[in-house]
Amino acid sequence: MVLGNAWLLIALPLAGAALLLLGGRRTNGWGHLLATALPIASFGWAVAALVQMLGMDPAERSLSVPVYTWFSAGGFTAEANLLLDPLSISFVLLITGVGSLIHVYSIGYMSHDDNRRRFFAYLNLFVAAMLVLVLADNYALMFLGWEGVGLASYLLIGFWQHKPSAAVAAKKAFLVNRVGDMGLLIAIMLMFSAFGTVAYSGVLGSADRAGEGLMAAIGLLLLLGACGKSAQLPLQSWLLDAMEGPTPVSALIHAATMVTAGVYLIVRSGPVFEAAPAAQLTVAVIGAATLLAGAVIGCAKDDIKKALAGSTMSQIGYMTLAAGLGPVGYAAAIAHLITHGFFKAGLFLGAGSVMHGMNDEVDMRRYGGLRKAMPITFATFGLGYLAIIGFPLLSGWWTKEGIIEAAFATGGTAGAVLGGATLLGAGLTAFYMTRVMIMTFFGQKRWDPGVHPHESPVSMTAPMVVLAAGSVFLGAALVFGYRFAHFLEPAVGAPEEHHAFSMAHLLTSWTSLAALGLMVAGVATAWFLYGRAPVPRTAPAGNLVTVAARNELYGNAINEGLFMRPGQALTKALTAFDTRVVDGLVNGIGRSVRDGSTGLRTTQTGFARTYALTMLFGAVIVVATLAVRI
């Protein structure tokens, strides 16, 4: 009954978005409450669906739920069917659970915004689109949700459109994601051309019988789409600019929805990548490069939200790397995705709480000493901090260590390089997150005059407490005893052997001990640089590496040099060709007709004697011609 009506999971938040947008100002007084209640209802339905699924035999935990025929053209029919299986229900619980907490938080955070109703409508639209994405049982319907998420992100990032920076950031996110979306769209076209269907069952069930070249092409195009949504190299440039939106948007995009879509796509399409080892290795390499690039960027940002955005790049890189390891990494990737959804959402909401108490200041160099003024924010943010740096037995420790172990388990040069990247990333994560903690909550007060930090209202702190609890306990609940890996097996397959999901192994393996040592080194380095001496209110010039990190490793400059400026030059050339050649030809024909008409017009005088004389000359010519022929 519950699984058979899975469409309600999407319908509830979608109805909220429609009602608030169409209802207009009449819903201002209560719209935010309705918009918050509907995702909570979806979460309750998802929990009931999970309970029903757990009562089924593992082999039967995959159910396609028909909804309606989307469209039909010739011999092709696209069905709007939903797929309920362990992978999709895991994402549904994350999206609706964390999404509901962000809605509750937004009630307090956006309480003084005149357009609060519209903001909540966009939040509902975002959740509904993401649910379409993860519940679709075919690539066509998944692409509809994919584009819906892109639209909602554009609306939310640019919500404060009166700020030019927010409007520009929204357009940038929209355009960069269109690049990735074209890759995904072409991949779907190739699937239909090769298999005659875009249903998961048809495509993934036939992947191992198709040519490796075709699967490699489809896999690389899917990866391009994933890079756009999940802000992986080289399509990562939009993510830090997306911080221009309200802080709840940052938590929603960076924790539970948009940036996880690419990881979902790769794991769901696992058989495609398994049939094309080159594409699969490319996924892992892109993930490794991004986890290091995001960590380096996070080390140098003074804007608290942008430091966390760099962290998101890095953590999604971990998940992408794990997804590129094949079946041995799928469970680790999704487990880390879920725990990350909790501690990263908590960190972003904590950052929003700090901003709320600091008159919207985002520069950590103007914070300091906030742990006493904001004790709840400090405690919840601190637990998220410990989780993300991999402090033993907290959520991030369980799942990140699983990825590190799986990377080394692949063996050979690739395993050593990928595993080394995960260990280096662990040390960098500990450094930049400790830097954030020290600059925000410890040291001397560096507040601007007139700023009076205070704790946020309960509507904001309550969701932070729940997320902090997840940051502590969720990892063990998922990983201990292989339970989550076994749960996912009907959807993603079973690896030949499990790695790093035993607590005894995690506590004693050399990779775990190496990660722990690097974590301690990162914390100590950050304390040495930022905790022992006063933090200057103006950032020092820094060295070449620091400057590069502050400039986001020149990602924007590279994109401008490789794509924007050549694109501008091409546009100018095409405009000149159109103006001078195409328009010149068309206008030349017009001028010829005009000039000829002008010449002929001079023969029309309007005098009868002129016309009579012309007729006489014509008659003489005709008679003379006839006479000559006779």
Residue 460: the pLDDT is 96
- 435/526 Cα distance (integer angstroms): 5
Of the pLDDT bands very low, low, confident and very high (cuts 50, 70, 90), residue 49 is very high
The number of angstroms, rounded, from the C-alpha of 473 to the middle of its chain's C-alpha atoms is 26
Determine the average pLDDT of the residues in 473-477. 91
Q: How many CB atoms within 10 Å of residue 598?
A: 9
- 96/497 Cα distance (integer angstroms): 32
Q: Where are the beta strands (DSSP E) in 391-540?
A: none
Is pLDDT of 480 > 80? no
The number of angstroms, rounded, from the C-alpha of 463 to the middle of its chain's C-alpha atoms is 22
Nearest to 194 by CA among 216, 210, 176, 182: 210
Q: What angle, 0 to 180 degrees and rounded to 10, lies between the N-to-C axes of helices 31-54 and 116-135? A: 20
- 93/87 Cα distance (integer angstroms): 10
Is pLDDT of 603 > 80? no
DSSP annotation of 535 reads: P
**Most distant pair of Cα atoms in the chain: their distance:** 123
pLDDT digits (tens, 9 = 90+) for 267-302: 999 999 999 999 999 999 999 999 999 999 999 999
* Cα–Cα distance list, 403 to 284, 293, 319, 422, 482 (Å): 11, 18, 8, 8, 14
pLDDT digits (tens, 9 = 90+) for 297-341: 999 999 999 999 999 999 999 999 999 999 989 999 999 999 999
Q: Does residue 19 or residue 563 have the better pLDDT?
A: 19
pLDDT digits (tens, 9 = 90+) for 500-521: 455 666 677 899 999 999 999 9
Q: What angle, 0 to 180 degrees and rounded to 10, lies between the N-to-C axes of helices 483-492 and 327-357? A: 110
Determine the average pLDDT of the residues in 384-393. 96
Coil, helix or strand for 387? Answer: helix
> What type of residue sits at position 317?
G
Contact between 440 and 354 (Cβ < 8 Å): yes
Of the pLDDT bands very low, low, confident and very high (cuts 50, 70, 90), residue 222 is very high
Residues in the chain: 630
- 532/519 Cα distance (integer angstroms): 19
Contact between 61 and 308 (Cβ < 8 Å): no
- 126/42 Cα distance (integer angstroms): 14
Determine the average pLDDT of the residues in 389-415. 92
Q: Does residue 464 or residue 545 have the better pLDDT?
A: 464
Of the pLDDT bands very low, low, confident and very high (cuts 50, 70, 90), residue 584 is confident
- 174/228 Cα distance (integer angstroms): 10
Q: Tell me how many degrees the CA angle 479-46-177 measures, rounded to the nearest 5.
A: 80
Q: Tell me how many degrees the CA angle 161-167-170 measures, rounded to the nearest 5.
A: 120
Residue 87: the pLDDT is 96
- 334/344 Cα distance (integer angstroms): 15
**CB hemisphere CA count around 464 (13 angstroms):** 32
Query: For tokens 């790769």, what's the residue?
Result: 266
Contact between 441 and 354 (Cβ < 8 Å): no
Of all residues in the chain, what percent carry a pLDDT higher than 70? 97
Contact between 3 and 49 (Cβ < 8 Å): yes
- 70/472 Cα distance (integer angstroms): 43
- Among 321-335, 366-380, 584-598, whose mean pLDDT is lowest? 584-598
> What type of residue sits at position 178?
R
Q: How many CB atoms within 10 Å of residue 532?
A: 9
Query: For tokens 């959402």, what's the residue?
Result: 345
Query: For tokens 């100018």, what's the residue?
Result: 572
Residue 371: the pLDDT is 95
The number of angstroms, rounded, from the C-alpha of 529 to the middle of its chain's C-alpha atoms is 33
Nearest to 120 by CA among 35, 13, 12: 35
Token pair in block for residue 247: 């802080």
Residue 15: the pLDDT is 97
> What type of residue sits at position 153?
S
Q: Exposed, middle or buried by CB within 10 Å (0-12, 13-18, 19+), for 569?
A: exposed
**Cα Rg of the chain (Å, integer):** 31
Is pLDDT of 604 > 80? no
- 336/323 Cα distance (integer angstroms): 11
- 98/257 Cα distance (integer angstroms): 9
Of the pLDDT bands very low, low, confident and very high (cuts 50, 70, 90), residue 630 is low
Residue 504: the pLDDT is 63
Nearest to 187 by CA among 224, 227, 212: 224
The whole-chain average pLDDT of the chain stands at 91
Residue 301: the pLDDT is 94
Of the pLDDT bands very low, low, confident and very high (cuts 50, 70, 90), residue 621 is confident
Token pair in block for residue 225: 């789409």
- pTM for the structure as a whole: 0.90
- 206/195 Cα distance (integer angstroms): 8
> What type of residue sits at position 581?
V
**CB hemisphere CA count around 383 (13 angstroms):** 25
Query: For tokens 């990247």, what's the residue?
Result: 421
- 8/6 Cα distance (integer angstroms): 5
Residue 560: the pLDDT is 78
Tell me the backbone φ, ψ of residue 401, rounded to 5 degrees.
-65, -35
Of the pLDDT bands very low, low, confident and very high (cuts 50, 70, 90), residue 610 is confident
Is pLDDT of 497 > 70? no
Beta-carbon contacts of residue 332 (< 8 Å; ≥ 6 apart): 322, 399, 402, 403, 405, 406, 499, 500
